Every structure is written in C-alpha cells, then in structure tokens.
Structure 1
C-alpha cells in the first residue's frame, strides 16, 4: 500500500441533500483516498479538525460510471466514500457551518 499521510486521506466533503440532513445527527460525509482504511480516516478527521472525537466510521467503495464518447466506452475512476459519526460531546466540523 502507498505511504498515505493523514492530510492525503480526506479529499473533499460530499455536499448533497442527504449528507446535509445527516449533519443534524453529527454524521459527516467525505470522499477519501481509495487505499485508506477506517483507522486512517478516524485519525485524519481528529487531526485535521480540532476538538472532534470520532465515534464510528462507515466506508463504501463506489465503482466508476460507464461513460460514452462517440462509439467508444470507458469508465470513470473508482472512488471511496466515508461517513464519519462524531460523539455527542465533540465539536462540529467548521467547514460545514453556514451551508
């Protein structure tokens, strides 16, 4: 496995209606590195966002979509999504405030 540092684990937040509704329950959704495991994701969230304590991490691997350009077919890249649940006494993640 590649040498993945904690700042390379989280790629970007997922902003959808479903993920925004889950923020009321302290669940945050991120796109993560495809080789990251749950412990790496937990460590990255706790280091990148001060005062957060992770209760659990759920991950899902997403296959690439089939795309067509003219007569040729191809696939987009595979991705991995993580839903991070914070503890009740944990601080909220600031990047989602005001959305």
Structure 2
C-alpha cells in the first residue's frame, strides 16, 4: 500500500509552491504522521505542517437505452504539505 498516490499539479496549487506548500493525493486511510514520514523519506525534505481534507466523489448520471444510469466517482483524500523555509520539491527533475 503506497501512502502517496500522486502530486496534484493545478494552477492554484502550483502558485502555492512558491510559498513552500505542496499538495498530494494520499491514501484515504493514511494519517498525518504516516504522510509526513512518506514525504520526508521519498523527497528528503523537512515537513513543518500537514493539512488533510477528504473529498466526496461527484454524482454522475447518463442516459442509456435501458434508462438513466447513476453513480458516483471515487472519493479521495488530499494533503497540503508545508515545508521548512528554503526547501523545495522538484517534480520535473526526472522528465
């Protein structure tokens, strides 16, 4: 089970990178201590603060021959990580 699923790279979150804040999609069962250890071991940085949020999946529906099919997308958990001043995570170094 991997705690960190992927980094979130949107315009809003990329602007937060200048302030030393990075966002990740994490496992729904992971707590802040596990997230902190995973980030420090993978990226070699010092984590000061972690904020987590759980997002509920959106309702989706579509019309088919047999009628309306409704469902829900997958729920997820996000973590916004604040690093120690002067430290950065470079997501684009391996490209």
Global fold match (TM > 0.5): yes
**1:62/1:75 Cα in 2 relative to 1: closer, same or farther (>3 Å)?**
same
Whole-Å Cα distance in 2 between the matches of residues 94 and 73 of structure 1?
40
Q: In structure 1, how many angstroms separate the alpha carbons of the residues matched to 2:4 and 2:82?
A: 15
- Structure 1's consecutive aligned runs of 4 or more residues displaced over 2 angstroms after TM superposition are none
Normalised by the size of structure 1, how large is the TM-score?
0.84
Question: Does 1:42 pair with 2:39?
Answer: no
User: Corresponding residue for 2:88?
Assistant: 92
Q: Which has the higher strand share?
A: 2
TM-score, normalisation: structure 2: 0.88
Larger radius of gyration: 2
- The aligned residue for residue 30 of structure 1 is 24
